[in-house]
Amino acid sequence: MNLTGKGPLGFKKQKEKKQNKKGLPRISKKRAAYLASPEREVGKLHMGRVAQLRCLVCGTWPVEVHHEGKPRSDMNCLPLCPKHHRTEFGPGSYHYSPRAFYAKHGTSEELLENVRNQLKTL
């Protein structure tokens, strides 16, 4: 039995606190500026209107808003149901094969024009 109150090798040394490392920003400054801009608010309103449309392919609702074109823009988006948007639904969906999707349903420009025409009638 040790009567000094010390362990067999002495007191444990306290660990030095590590300096907090500055992590990477979650979003870039450019992205943050865009998210705070009036342009973003207009884009959100537009996407909300597109979300009220039916799927361009099968006409079902509800839809997911798919951003179209490069660079991506909130003003260029398509209403697609999950079946025609997501990869996991296999052939016929946009993210499974964009090339096959365009071959079957029309070019990006044609699809966007279709959306614009539908929005005019709302």
The arithmetic mean of pLDDT across residues 6-22, rounded, is 67
3-class SS of residue 66: strand
Please report whether residue 8 resides in a domain: no
Please report whether residue 82 resides in a domain: yes
Structure confidence by residue, pLDDT tens digits, 36-92: 999 999 999 999 999 999 999 999 999 999 999 888 889 999 999 999 999 888 888
pLDDT grade for 11, boundaries at 50, 70 and 90: low
Please report whether residue 105 resides in a domain: yes
Q: What angle is formed at CA 42 by the lines to CA 39 and CA 48, rounded to 5 degrees?
A: 140
Tell me what pLDDT residue 98 has. 92
Tell me what pLDDT residue 69 has. 80
CATH number of residue 111's parent domain: 3.30.40.190
99 is in which domain, residue-wise?
Answer: 29-120
Tell me what pLDDT residue 48 has. 94
The arithmetic mean of pLDDT across residues 89-100, rounded, is 91
The arithmetic mean of pLDDT across residues 99-112, rounded, is 93
Joined tokens for residue 3:
């009567």
pTM of the model: 0.71
Domain count, the chain: 1
Please report whether residue 33 resides in a domain: yes
Please report whether residue 96 resides in a domain: yes
Tell me what pLDDT residue 62 has. 93
Please report whether residue 9 resides in a domain: no
Please report whether residue 34 resides in a domain: yes
Tell me what pLDDT residue 89 has. 86
Tell me what pLDDT residue 7 has. 60
Residues 66, 71, 74, 80, Cα dihedral to 10° = -10
Please report whether residue 65 resides in a domain: yes
Tell me what pLDDT residue 72 has. 83
